[in-house]
């Protein structure tokens, strides 16, 4: 078991620091898979003839430590606050980035569009979708898949969730988080690399 520094990530659009895209990935850092809907909106049930090819799930969840390892900063755990996630969703909309999607954080376009976007708030009756367990302040998105090959990979379980990408500002919280599953992260990284190679070939 190791302890890693906890870093809070924020954005500043004036310094070109914001979320610029949403990737469709096999292993989402927030560990929340999306729900795939068919014509009759049954969870995990697909209609062959007239599918909606839509996804619904959490793009970001507040206060969840996310493992990171960079050449510049080494190993650390990153987290986003409710306030930052709300700002990220608003700036994303302001900049009209709803067509900015890719596969596994690569230059491979996901050929998808984000047609729903909201922040969960139970007091206002704005809840997470059924089957998605996330707290208030989570960013929920709905995505329409326009590419048949991408949809087939989703149905095959090769793409399971969302992962945001962008430029962030780091704030040292002066606290640490215990990490007991470092090997699992190494395994996840290898699986992501393998899935990228499979999608490209």
Q: Would you say the C-alpha torsion 193, 6, 97, 99 has a positive or negative sign?
A: positive
pLDDT of residue 155: 87
pLDDT of residue 195: 40
The mean per-residue pLDDT over the stretch 163-172 comes to: 93
The average confidence (pLDDT) of the chain is 83
Query: What's the predicted TM-score (pTM) here?
Result: 0.82
**Whole-angstrom distance, CA of residue 164 vs CA of residue 187:** 20
Q: Is 116 helix (H, G, I), strand (E, B) or coil?
A: strand
Token pair listed for 120: 């969960």
The residue whose two tokens read 């007991």 is 180
Helix (H) or strand (E) holding 101: strand 101-103
Domain borders along the chain are 2-200
The mean per-residue pLDDT over the stretch 143-156 comes to: 92
**Whole-angstrom distance, CA of residue 40 vs CA of residue 63:** 34
């Amino acid at each position: 078991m190791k302890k890693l520094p906890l870093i809070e990530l924020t954005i500043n659009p004036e310094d070109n620091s914001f979320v610029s895209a949403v990737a469709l990935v096999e292993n989402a850092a927030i560990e929340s898979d999306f729900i795939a809907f068919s014509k009759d909106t049954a969870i995990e049930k697909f209609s062959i003839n007239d599918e909606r090819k839509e996804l619904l799930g959490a793009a970001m969840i507040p206060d969840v430590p996310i493992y990171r390892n960079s050449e510049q900063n080494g190993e650390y755990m990153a987290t986003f606050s409710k306030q930052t996630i709300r700002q990220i969703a608003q700036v994303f909309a302001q900049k009209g980035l709803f067509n900015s999607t890719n596969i596994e954080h690569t230059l491979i376009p996901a050929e998808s569009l984000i047609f729903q976007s909201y922040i969960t708030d139970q007091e206002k009756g704005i809840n997470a979708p059924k089957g998605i367990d996330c707290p208030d302040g989570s960013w929920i998105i709905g995505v329409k898949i326009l590419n048949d090959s991408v949809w087939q990979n989703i149905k095959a379980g090769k793409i399971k969730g969302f992962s945001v990408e962008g430029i962030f500002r780091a704030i040292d919280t002066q606290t640490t988080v215990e990490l007991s599953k470092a090997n699992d992260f190494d395994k996840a990284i290898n699986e992501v690399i393998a899935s990228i190679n499979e999608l490209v070939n």
